[in-house]
Amino acid sequence: MQKRTLGNSGLEVSAIGLGCMGLSFGYGPATEKQQAITLIRTAYERGVTFFDSAEAYGPYKNEELLGEALAPFRDKVVIATKFGFDFNAEGGQSGLNSRPQHIRAVAEAALKRLNTDVIDLLYQHRVDPAVPIEDVAGTVKDLIAEGKVKHFGLSEAGSQTIRRAHAVQPVAALQSEYSLWWREPEGDILPVLEELGIGFVPFSPLGKGFLTGAINAQTTFDDKDFRNTVPRFSTEAREANQALVDLLGEIASAKQVTPAQIALAWLLAQKPWIVPIPGTTKLNRLEENIGAAAVVLSADDLAAIEDAVSKVTVQGDRYPAHLQARINR
C-alpha cells in the first residue's frame, strides 16, 4: 500500500489505516478475541501500518487487544490512542478529564495495555473546556521529552484550539469526522491544518457504514449499537439519505468498484496528508477498504461526485444532543 506523511510531523503511515473501535465497542457485542486478532494481523499483512485505538473503547479492552495483536511487528506499525474521559464503575463515560495528572496516568496505563515502550500518536479524545489547551499540550510535550510519546494529536477540536495547542507542542494530526456525508471540516478546519502542516485523520469515513450501501431504512441494529441513538440513522433520515448512496452506487458501478471504495478514494483525493481510518469486523470489508487506496479518481470523476452529492441534502444530526455538546468548534 502507498504511504502518506501526516503533515509536517514526519510520521509516515499507510494511506488507509484501521479504526479499531468497532472490534470492542460501539456497534454491538465485541468481536471474539481471536477473530479480532486475525483481522488486525491480516490488515498488517495487506499493508496497513496505522492502527487507531482509545482507552474509551471498551473501555480499555481495545488497547489490550491491539497490544497483543500487534506485538509480533510492533516496530513496524504506528499505534494511536487517546485520553480525555473519566469512567464510572460500569465502564460508561462519566465526563471529560484532561487534567495534566490524569493525562499522565492514562498514558502510563495505555503503555502497559498496548504492551509497548512508546505511544506513537497520543490524541486528546475531546477538548475539555475545564482545562486550558495549553496545559494539555504542555503535558504531552513533557511525555514526548520523556520518550513515552512520539506525537501529539487532537480530536474534534476547533480551529482556534488547534492553533493554541500547536503553539505549545506541534500537533501531528487532527482526527475528526469527515466523509461525503459530513463535510463540515472543509469550512475552517482543513485550511488551518494546511497552513500549520498538520495531518488529518478522518474517522467514520464511510458514514458509520451507511456509505457502503449495506444499510437501508429497513436495517435493524443490535441493542448495543450506538447508531440506534444517532438522529442521522433514524428510519426517516435513512430513507432520505438513501439518495446519496444510490448516486455513489451509480458512480462506483461505472468505475467497476464499490460505493465504499469511491467514498474512501474521494477522501484520499482531497489532500495528500489525509489518512482515513475505516473500521470493520469483517475480512471481506477490510479487503474492500484497502482496495480503495488503488482507486484513482480523475478530475472528471471528482467533478461528477461533487455534482451528484450537491443534489442531496443529508438529513439528521450526526450525534445525539448530549454528545454533540462535546464537539469543540
Active site residues: 57
Buried b (16+ CB within 10 A) or exposed e, 11-31: bebbbbbbbbbbbbbbbeebb
Give the number of other CB atoms < 10 A from CB of residue 2: 10
Strand partners of residue 152 = 122, 171
118 contacts 147 by C-beta, under 8 angstroms: yes
SS3 240: helix
Nearest-angstrom CA–CA distance, 262 and 264: 6
Cα separation, 23 vs 33, whole angstroms? 9
8 A C-beta contact, residue 143 and residue 108: no
- Spatial distance between the Cα atoms of 223 and 193, rounded to a whole number of angstroms: 38
CA pair distance 274, 175, nearest whole angstrom: 10
Element (H, E) at 86: strand 85-87
| Cβ-based neighbours of 222, under 8 Å, separated by 6 or more | 27, 28, 29
